[in-house]
Amino acid sequence: MKSFLKDQRTTNFLTKFFTYLFLLALSIVILYPILITASSAFKPGNIAAFTLEWSDSWTLDNFVRLFNETLYLDWYRNTLIIAVTTMIFQVAIVTIAGYTYSRYRFKGRKNSLIFFLIIQMVPTMAALTAFYVLAMLLGALDQFWFLTLIYIGGGIPMNIWLMKGYFDTVPRDLDESAKLDGAGHFRIFGQIILPLVRPMIAVQALWAFMGPFGDFLLAKFLLRTPENLTIAVGLQSFIANPQQQKVALFAAGAILAALPICLLFFFLQKNFVSGLTAGGTKG
């Protein structure tokens, strides 16, 4: 018995040791680039490369130059408009569609779900030419609304699958009980089922909002004038020329670009809780 307990304690110790070791290594991998970016953003003058050096002299001149000497505020506004619009419409469409596919049986349901998977397999690179030709035909080149529609549509197929899977975890007993009490379809969806899938809705909202901030390829391909660029494309112009790299401005802009995503994450984090349906059928 003592030998068994000793082996059990050894196993628990090793499990915790390697778990914490893995988390420490993961933290270093995540924090190191952030520290380099922060260090570069507050350095005086322009620098030629990203370095992790903490000196006594810190300055906000790079942020001032970012606002006064570049079109960063225009890029920031453009990206926020596209990101918020994408988030609202994509989350609404995906939530309603996921509920429909989860709770109702209709003709073409299975085939359309398979079609969504097939569409998702097509990489963005393969569709760039099609997007460009379509933009030319619609007169939508260098237009925010066309890029926003692509972001919305591109996130729908796979996210419908994810949302449907989450709706499937909600017990159907809740629907049946509500119907017996006289609740209609809209009331069941809005007042009973929707609050139980808030974790997935929050995740979908965060993903949709982050997309335009991190996407470079589509925005670079479809946007033309400097005033209409997004943050990703605008910041890339700071380091595109090897002879005139503005690393400090790039780092300062990257830090400010992360702020809306961080704020949205902290605002939604209370909804990142699974298992809400565990007590849904009690009582």
Give the tens place of pLDDT for each residue, 91-111.
999 999 999 998 888 888 889
* Helix 109-120 vs helix 144-168: crossing angle, to nearest 10: 130
More confident residue, 138 or 43: 138
Number of Cα atoms under 13 Å in the Cβ half of residue 271: 18
3-state helix, strand, coil in the chain (%, to 5): 75, 0, 25
* Six-digit token string for 220: 């670079």
- The whole-angstrom separation of Cα 214 and Cα 191 is 34
More confident residue, 182 or 152: 152
The per-residue pLDDT for 43 is 80
Asked if residue 157 lies in contact with residue 112, where contact means CB atoms within 8 angstroms, the answer is no
- The whole-angstrom separation of Cα 112 and Cα 22 is 41
- The whole-angstrom separation of Cα 248 and Cα 44 is 8
Mean per-residue pLDDT for 259-269?
A: 90
Share of the chain above pLDDT 90, in %: 33
Domain boundaries of the chain, sorted by first residue: 1-61, 70-240
Name the pLDDT band for 4 (thresholds 50, 70, 90): low
**70-240: which CATH number, 1.10.10.10, 3.40.50.1820, 1.10.3720.10, 3.10.20.30?**
1.10.3720.10
Q: Which amino acid is at 118?
A: I
Name the pLDDT band for 54 (thresholds 50, 70, 90): low
Rg (CA), the chain: 24
Residues 6 or more apart whose Cβ sits within 8 Å of residue 187: 178
The per-residue pLDDT for 158 is 87
The sign of the CA dihedral 182, 184, 187, 189 is positive
Flag whether pLDDT at 82 surpasses 70: yes
Mean per-residue pLDDT for 65-77?
A: 92
Rounded to 10 degrees, what is the CA torsion of 236, 85, 196, 119? -70
Residue 47 three-state SS: coil
The single residue listed with the structure tokens 């017990």 is 171
Provide the whole-model pTM: 0.84
